[in-house]
Amino acid sequence: MTEKSLADIQREVDAYISQFKEGYFSPLALMARMSEEVGELAREVNHFYGEKPKKADEADNSVEMELGDILFILSCFANSLGIDLTEAHNKVMNKFNTRDADRWTRKNAEQ
């Protein structure tokens, strides 16, 4: 499978959403959808890694699919607000690499 950048993903999601008259949901609706998807991810993680096994009649979802759903909704959210996720990621990584530079023990520091 061909690798996609965040920009590629955002364009692909936009092309999909743009074919419908309804377009993107409002930011509030997207936040609700995001919360719903994070809850579904939590449920899958609890089933797979926690103490709560799935019931026999529960859907066969996966952590991978739930993360994919979150990425889709995140892309919708960013697109609807005109946010470039690559730029947002770069800003966050800069924050972590400066503000949190000495917060964690680096592997190479133990040598």
As a whole number of angstroms, the distance between CA 5 and CA 81 comes to 19
Instruction: Map out the domains of the chain as residue ranges.
Output: 6-100
Element (H, E) at 94: helix 85-99
| Mean model confidence pLDDT for the chain | 92
Is the model's pLDDT at 58 over the cut of 90?
A: no
Of 21 and 60, which is predicted with more confidence? 21
Q: Check pLDDT > 80 for residue 59.
A: no
Nearest alpha-carbon partner for 81 in 30, 20, 41: 30
Q: What angle do CA 25, 31, 34 make, to 5 degrees?
A: 100
Q: What would be the CATH architecture of the domain defined by 6-100?
A: Orthogonal Bundle (1.10)
The residue ranking higher by pLDDT, 40 or 57, is 40
pLDDT, tens only, 77-97: 999 999 999 999 999 999 989
